[in-house]
């Protein structure tokens, strides 16, 4: 789905990536961990085409449709839940019974159909992220870039949304940025750690069981310790 070859990118005279190579397999969840400022969100921006001043090659599969799910849900607070899910069609003046039915089906999937006529400023943080997830699904994208979409939620809501996202996006290609090794182990098919300056990738960690996973699995505890060692490096 994505191939990056010999990427070089600097920000404010700091070299973030130098001769950086990365590939993203289709129809898998890949989690990327790393310390703050290491370049995780920058990598998403480069893949999304939001950063242009780089050297090297960033190649996406032909006709790839892309969606972004971030920590900030970016909902329009004065629009209804239903209009936010149909946002692309709403802004283009192209909402119709077909787009409304699809939006309602997705709101049913994220357990928000009963709130479809509410303005989004009346929703809780967890409810807003459910709507944001439905809006992402409405785009029918091939590649979903997730930038810590669950990190601001309380523990129970976070777990619910993790499971829901994994279920509804199981056939999509997902790149998930997270600071949380447990979240990566719960959701991802492949896990990588971004570290050092300029940034380099660790060897991949590939859990044996099928996601979503839960912490009672003893193998996950061992993999979590390995991830912490990768993240801590020389600073245990």
Question: And the tokens for 175?
Answer: 């790149």
For the stretch 9-56, pLDDT in tens is 998 888 999 999 999 989 999 999 998 889 999 999 999 999 989 999
Mean pLDDT of 139-163: 90
Residue with tokens 């997270």: 178
> Which pLDDT does position 225 carry in this prediction?
87
Give yes or no for a contact between 21 and 58, defined as CB atoms under 8 angstroms apart.
no
Closest-CA residue to 24 (of 192, 166, 161, 233): 192
Residue 135 vs residues 84, 143, 164: alpha-carbon distances, Å: 7, 14, 14
Distance CA 83, CA 88 (A): 9
Alpha-carbon span 149 to 166, nearest angstrom: 13
Confidence (pLDDT) at 157? 87
Model confidence, pTM: 0.90
What would the pLDDT profile of 179-214 be if each residue is shown by its tens digit?
899 899 999 999 999 998 899 999 999 988 888 887
Percent of the chain with pLDDT over 90: 63
How many degrees, rounded to 5, is the angle at CA 158 between CA 180 and CA 218?
Answer: 55
Q: Residue 106 above 80 pLDDT?
A: yes
């Amino acid at each position: 789905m994505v191939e990056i070859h010999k990427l070089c990118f600097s920000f404010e005279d700091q070299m973030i990536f130098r001769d950086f190579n990365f590939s993203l397999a289709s129809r898998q969840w890949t989690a990327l961990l790393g310390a703050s400022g290491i370049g995780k969100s920058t990598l998403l921006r480069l893949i999304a085409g939001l950063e242009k001043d780089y050297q090297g090659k960033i190649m996406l599969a032909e006709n790839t449709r892309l969606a972004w799910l971030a920590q900030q849900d970016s909902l329009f607070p004065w629009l209804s839940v239903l209009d936010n899910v149909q946002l692309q069609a709403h802004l283009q003046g192209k909402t119709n019974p077909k787009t409304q039915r699809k939006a309602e089906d997705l709101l049913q999937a994220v357990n928000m159909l009963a709130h479809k006529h509410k303005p989004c400023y009346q929703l809780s943080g967890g409810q807003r992220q459910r709507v944001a997830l439905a809006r992402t699904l409405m785009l029918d994208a091939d590649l979903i870039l997730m930038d810590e979409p669950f990190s601001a939620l309380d523990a129970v809501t976070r777990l619910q949304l993790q499971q829901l996202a994994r279920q509804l996006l199981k056939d999509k290609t997902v790149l998930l940025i997270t600071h949380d090794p447990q979240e990566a182990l719960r959701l991802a098919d492949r896990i990588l750690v971004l570290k050092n300056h300029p940034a380099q990738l660790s060897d991949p960690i590939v859990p044996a069981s099928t996601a979503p996973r839960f912490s009672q699995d003893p193998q996950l505890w061992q993999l979590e310790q390995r991830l912490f060692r990768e993240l801590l490096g020389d600073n245990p």
